[in-house]
């Protein structure tokens, strides 16, 4: 192993396109050990679903040992110079250094007793740390039907500091199939994993959005949990198909052209963006990832390429200002799958990310995942979003 022996935060990202899952995991582990002066304290692992998930983790930990590891499957992965949303792809980020303290945990069947599961995540993390965390990362299974509002409420009740991250995913298509979460060598679904980072280092969180108001408002008139059943007194799915021009519940591209803006807080400006995630033709309802109260006036938002690209540039400049005078070590990104290849296309997605990397930190380690829903704090409280791009920067 090589490198600076006295750093507060050490990082190494490996971006892989190797097809052999076990070999790719081993190679990532070997590159990490060759780059860091001391063994990592945490590994964040993101894979496309083409990979044999358990075999990749087995190969990785065969080299690294029983290092704390969390992660999830993604629609795609990101690293230095590229975003991959097809084939075999992996992004593995190892963190270490003198200052870093880490706690990891998991829960199963996160859609059941969700508030209690959030409390359990938070209390497990809090008990494992000697000091309050600077940031907590969460990944979960969006196909479980979990309502993120009670999960985040329970988690934030127990841990201090901002909470961010994103939903596990698989390749973008009309067929919503299984997503995976990782905890050590364990691969599972319908769960949530979390890690809290504490220590004497600096962290910054920024986020960009890619939506603008479309000028259409509606009232949520009937719900069942986080299922919208009626908008303006009519079946929600029928209304949604009319305003988007979609031809059915599997017309993903047309449906994804619009999103639902929920007021961030009564009496305040700003909206939290919600995607119409899963459709229920039998109930004529729309499943979203965080419940909306009946009687709420929602605003439809639409995506524009200009909003996406300009928002990413503004986010990068803001982050540069915040990091002035500090040594940036690593950046983790959690970009929405609704704004990358399905919307921007492969070339523009890579241009967006390369420009952001060049602006923020040309030499910093960079990794992340393309998500099906993002977590990012608003007004000091954790919140769920769609069509956004949160970044976490670690510096000293």
pLDDT tier for residue 3 given thresholds of 50, 70 and 90? very low
**pLDDT on residue 277:** 65
**pLDDT on residue 92:** 98
Q: Using H for helix, E for strand and C for coil, what is the string for 195-242?
A: EEEECCCEEEEEEEECEEEEEEEEEEEEEECCEEEEECCEEHHHHHHH
Q: What phi, psi does 275 have (nearest 5°)?
A: -90, 150
Beta bridge pairs of residue 81: none
The arithmetic mean of pLDDT across residues 113-137, rounded, is: 97
Question: Cβ(395)–Cβ(328) under 8 Å?
Answer: yes
pLDDT tier for residue 257 given thresholds of 50, 70 and 90? low
202-249 pLDDT, tens digit per residue, is: 999 999 887 778 778 889 999 988 888 999 999 988 888 888 776 655
**pLDDT on residue 269:** 54
Instruction: Among 114-118, 151-155, 382-386, name the one with the lowest average pLDDT.
Output: 382-386
144-188 pLDDT, tens digit per residue, is: 989 999 999 999 999 989 999 999 999 976 566 899 999 999 999
Pairwise CA distance, residues 166 & 385, whole Å:
9
Mean pLDDT of the chain: 90
Distances (CA, A) of 99 to 67, 68, 250, 325: 17, 16, 48, 19
- DSSP annotation of 142 reads G
The arithmetic mean of pLDDT across residues 327-341, rounded, is: 93
* 57 or 276, higher pLDDT: 57
Pairwise CA distance, residues 13 & 92, whole Å:
6
Pairwise CA distance, residues 14 & 71, whole Å:
14
- Sequence ranges of the domains in the chain: 10-208+308-395, 211-302
H/E stretch holding 121 reads helix 114-128
Question: Cβ(98)–Cβ(7) under 8 Å?
Answer: yes
278-321 pLDDT, tens digit per residue, is: 788 888 888 887 788 899 888 888 777 888 888 899 999 999 99
Beta bridge pairs of residue 376: 383
The arithmetic mean of pLDDT across residues 134-151, rounded, is: 94
- DSSP annotation of 387 reads S
* 285 or 335, higher pLDDT: 335
Instruction: Among 104-113, 124-133, 266-275, 289-298, name the one with the lowest average pLDDT.
Output: 266-275
Token pair of 311, please? Answer: 């928002």
- Give the predicted TM-score (pTM) of the model: 0.86
Q: What phi, psi does 290 have (nearest 5°)?
A: -150, 130
CA angle 190, 193, 195 (to 5 degrees): 170
Distances (CA, A) of 386 to 58, 281, 304: 32, 22, 14
Give the pairing of strands 202-209 and 388-395.
antiparallel
Length in residues, the chain: 396
Nearest one of 172, 171, 170 to 180, comparing CA atoms? 170
**Residue carrying structure tokens 């499943």:** 287
H helices of the chain, in order, are 21-35, 53-64, 114-128, 148-158, 236-244, 252-255, 305-322, 346-360
**pLDDT on residue 213:** 81
**pLDDT on residue 4:** 42
Q: What percentage of residues in the chain have a pLDDT greater than 70?
A: 93
């Amino acid at each position: 192993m090589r490198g600076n022996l006295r750093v507060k935060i050490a990082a190494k990202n490996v971006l892989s396109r190797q097809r052999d899952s076990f070999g790719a995991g081993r190679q990532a582990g070997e590159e990490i050990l060759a780059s860091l002066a001391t063994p990592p304290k945490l590994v964040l692992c993101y894979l496309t679903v083409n990979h044999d998930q358990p075999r990749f983790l087995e190969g990785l930990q065969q080299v690294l040992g029983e290092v704390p590891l969390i992660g999830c499957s993604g629609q795609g992965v990101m690293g230095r110079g590229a975003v991959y949303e097809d084939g075999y792809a992996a992004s593995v980020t190892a963190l270490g250094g003198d200052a870093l303290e880490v706690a990891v945990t998991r829960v199963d069947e996160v859609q059941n007793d969700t508030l209690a599961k959030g409390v359990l995540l938070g209390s497990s993390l809090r008990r494992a740390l000697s000091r309050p965390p600077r940031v907590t990362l969460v990944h979960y299974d969006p196909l479980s039907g979990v309502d993120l509002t009670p999960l985040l409420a329970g988690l934030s009740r127990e841990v201090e500091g901002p909470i961010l991250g994103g939903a596990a995913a698989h390749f973008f298509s009309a067929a919503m199939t299984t997503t995976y979460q990782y905890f050590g060598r364990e691969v599972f679904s319908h769960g949530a994993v979390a890690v809290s980072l504490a220590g004497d280092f600096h962290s910054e969180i920024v986020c960009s959005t890619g939506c603008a108001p479309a000028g259409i408002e509606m009232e949520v008139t009937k719900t069942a949990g986080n299922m919208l059943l009626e908008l303006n007194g009519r079946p929600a799915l029928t209304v949604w198909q009319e305003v988007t021009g979609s031809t059915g519940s599997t017309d993903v591209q047309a449906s994804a052209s619009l999103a639902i803006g929920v007021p961030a807080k009564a009496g305040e400006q700003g909206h939290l963006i919600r995607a119409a995630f899963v459709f229920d033709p039998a109930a004529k309802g729309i499943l979203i990832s965080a419940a909306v109260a009946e009687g709420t006036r929602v605003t439809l938002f639409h995506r524009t390429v200009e909003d996406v690209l300009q928002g990413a540039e503004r986010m990068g400049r803001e982050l540069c200002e915040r990091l002035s005078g500090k040594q940036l070590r690593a950046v983790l990104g959690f970009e929405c799958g609704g704004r990358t290849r399905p919307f921007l296309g492969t070339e523009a997605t890579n241009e967006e990310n390369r420009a952001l990397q060049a602006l923020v930190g040309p030499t910093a380690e960079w990794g992340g995942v393309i998500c099906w829903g993002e977590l990012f704090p608003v007004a000091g409280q954790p919140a769920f979003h769609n069509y956004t791009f949160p970044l976490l920067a670690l510096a000293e």
